[in-house]
């Protein structure tokens, strides 16, 4: 309900280049992106400046990871003719918008974002008491608002960042979205609604602005959006006037939370580079096989004859992702009765993971061997991204009164 120009089909998402991708990324974000790229106008970017906020002391991992990440995206099927793929620092407008937004963002909003304290706790070995790290969510807001994205596919941990983005957009529009004669123009637009509709609109507006009545806000929006005879500009004005804000310059995005399976790491914790429990997308089959063969199982099964409990075993979580009903019942039954051994139980998982990774690995090798192809994809992506970014920045500078050169 954030877009004022019909249904917003723009999707934006990014990933930090801090090392190779693994099965957690594939089943979390990437499979989702693969679907989205054919249904939406997708922009996917490598968030290299975001990586700097935590890796500023030793930046050596960033450059190779940018390349590696792009190759891995391409290898899993992110399609540069369907989606725009680019690197954040190739579009310096992100830094400009971040700076401009920083002027209007209260410190408290950033200090209250849960990831701020969480990450500082979690990554104790790094000094994250920096200006840049505090601004992490705001840089993300700039990424999102730059492309006027309606939808941002993210994991649970990132929802707060989309939320703050909405608040920042609202504040920006409130501060700078006013035309000099906004009120008169809005009142004039109201008359175009027609007598009865215009009275309804006024009632909805009053209920929302005086009592915070969300239902009235929704009804008012529906009235405006479904009205057959409004110009685009009048529609925007009336939507802004309804909420008590001005014209929409920056579009409020929504988090697109898709249910994705949680891939356990080899030790049963969440799969994550920092826990050293990953299976990389480009890893050699022998290494993958060895990792799975030696991965943790239910600790109660010390001997082959001890019965186990799948719910306490990370291998079972893999079965839930990779195996059909028949194999799943075989595991449940065989584990609890000690009818099967753990090595036996792991075999279908090993087979499925190897089968899934094989074509990806082949394509990683292909793309790695032709850096020129990746260069072309990158430069096309950069051009498309910059075009969109320039358009937004023109509006932003204009709204802020910065076009005085």
Q: Which stretch binds ligand SF4 (CB under 6 A): 74-82, 190-198, 294-302, 386-394?
A: 294-302
Q: How far is the CB of 55 from ligand TRP (least distance, A)?
A: 12
Could you say which of 10, 16, 346, 382 contacts ligand TRP (CB under 6 A)?
16
| 134-173: contacts with ligand TRP (CB under 6 A) | 140, 143-144, 152, 154, 158
Q: Where in 304-323 is the site for ligand SF4 (CB under 6 A)?
A: 308, 310, 313, 315-316
Q: CB of 212 within 8 A of CB of 204? A: no
- Half-sphere exposure in the Cβ direction for 280 (13 Å, CA): 15
Q: How far is the CB of 169 from ligand TRP (least distance, A)?
A: 14
Q: Is 292 in the site for ligand SF4 (CB under 6 A)?
A: no
Place of tokens 């020129």: 372
The 3-state secondary structure of 148-189 reads CCCEEECCHHHHHHHHHHHHHHHHHHHHHCCCCCHHHHHHHH
Candidate ranges 131-139, 226-234, 279-287, 296-304; the one touching ligand SF4 (CB under 6 A)? 296-304
Which of 51, 238 has the CB closer to ligand TRP? Answer: 51
By CB under 6 A, residue 13 contacts ligand TRP = yes
Q: How far is the CB of 304 from ligand SF4 (least distance, A)?
A: 10
Residues 270 and 371: their CA atoms lie apart, in Å, by: 33
Cα 236 from Cα 189, distance rounded (Å): 10
CB of 295 to ligand SF4, least distance (A): 8
Cβ at position 288, least distance to ligand SF4 in Å: 17
Q: Hey, what are 200's tokens? A: 């309804």
Q: Does residue 297 touch ligand SF4 according to CB under 6 A? A: yes
Check residue 220 and give left, alpha or beta (phi > 0: left; psi -120 to 50: alpha): alpha
- Euclidean distance between CA atoms 226 and 223, whole angstroms: 5
342 binds, among ligand SF4, ligand TRP, none (CB under 5 to 8 A by kind): ligand SF4
Smallest separation (angstroms) from ligand TRP to the CB of 393: 17
Residue whose CB is less far from ligand TRP, 12 or 224: 12
Cβ 291 to ligand SF4 shortest distance, Å: 14
Question: Which of 143/236 has CB closer to ligand TRP?
Answer: 143
CA distance 361 to 339: 35
Dihedral (Cα; 114, 119, 122, 125), 10-degree rounding: -150
Q: Which partner in ligand SF4, ligand TRP, none is near 308 (CB below 5 to 8 A by kind)?
A: ligand SF4
- What the block records as the tokens of 30 is 């990437």
Nearest approach in angstroms of CB 88 to ligand TRP is: 7
278 by DSSP, 3-state: which?
coil
245/378 with CB nearer ligand TRP: 378
Output phi, psi for 12, to 5 deg.
-135, 135
Stretch that binds ligand SF4, among 144-152, 210-218, 241-249, 297-305 (CB under 6 A): 297-305
Per DSSP, the three-state class of 308 is: coil
Q: Quick check: 47 binds ligand SF4 (CB under 6 A)?
A: no
- What is the DSSP code string of 193-258? T-HHHHHHHHHHHHHHHHH--HHHHHHHHHHHHT-TT--HHHHHHHHHHHHT----SSPPPEEE--
The yes or no reply on residue 12 touching ligand TRP (CB under 6 A) is: yes
3-state helix, strand, coil in the chain (%, to 5): 60, 5, 35
Q: Of 34-63, which residues contact ligand TRP (CB under 6 A)?
A: 47, 50
Task: Using CB under 6 A, list all residues that contact ligand TRP.
Answer: 12-16, 47, 50, 140, 143-144, 152, 154, 158
């Amino acid at each position: 309900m954030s877009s004022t120009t019909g249904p917003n089909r723009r999707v934006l998402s990014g990933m930090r280049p801090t090392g190779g991708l693994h099965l957690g990324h594939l089943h979390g974000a990437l499979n989702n992106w693969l679907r989205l790229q054919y249904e939406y106008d997708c922009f996917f970017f490598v968030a290299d400046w975001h990586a700097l906020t935590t890796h500023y002391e030793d930046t050596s991992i960033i450059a190779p990871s940018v390349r590696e990440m792009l190759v891995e995206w391409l290898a899993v099927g992110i399609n540069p003719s369907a989606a725009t793929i680019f690197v954040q620092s190739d579009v310096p407008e992100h830094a400009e918008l971040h700076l401009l937004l920083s002027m209007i963002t209260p410190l408290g909003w950033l200090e209250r974002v849960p990831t701020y304290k969480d990450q500082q706790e979690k990554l104790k070995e790094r000094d994250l008491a920096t200006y840049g790290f505090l601004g992490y969510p705001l840089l993300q807001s700039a990424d999102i608002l730059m492309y006027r994205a309606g939808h941002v596919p993210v994991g649970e941990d990132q929802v707060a960042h989309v939320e703050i983005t909405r608040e920042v957009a609202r504040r920006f529009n409130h501060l700078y979205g006013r035309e000099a004669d906004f009120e008169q123009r809005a009142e004039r637009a109201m008359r175009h609604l027609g007598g009865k509709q215009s009275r309804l609109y006024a009632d909805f507006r009053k209920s929302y602005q005086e009592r915070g009545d969300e239902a009235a806000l929704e009804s008012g929006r529906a009235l405006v959006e479904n009205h057959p005879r409004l110009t685009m500009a009048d529609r925007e004005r009336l939507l802004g006037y309804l909420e008590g804000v001005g014209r929409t310059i920056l579009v409020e995005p929504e988090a697109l939370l898709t249910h994705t399976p949680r891939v356990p790491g080899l030790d049963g914790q969440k799969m994550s580079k920092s826990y050293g429990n990953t299976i990389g997308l480009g890893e050699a089959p022998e290494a993958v096989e060895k990792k799975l063969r030696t991965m943790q199982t239910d600790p109660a099964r010390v001997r082959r004859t001890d019965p186990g409990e799948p719910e306490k075993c990370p291998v079972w979580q893999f079965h839930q992702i990779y195996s059909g009903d028949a194999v799943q019942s075989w595991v449940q039954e065989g584990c609890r009765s000690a009818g099967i051994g753990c090595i036996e139980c792991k075999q279908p998982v090993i087979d499925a993971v190897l089968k899934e990774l094989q074509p990806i690995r082949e394509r990683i090798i292909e793309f790695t061997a032709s850096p020129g192809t990746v260069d072309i994809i990158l430069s096309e992506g950069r051009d498309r991204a910059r075009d969109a970014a320039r358009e937004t920045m023109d509006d932003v500078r204009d709204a802020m009164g910065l076009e005085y050169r």
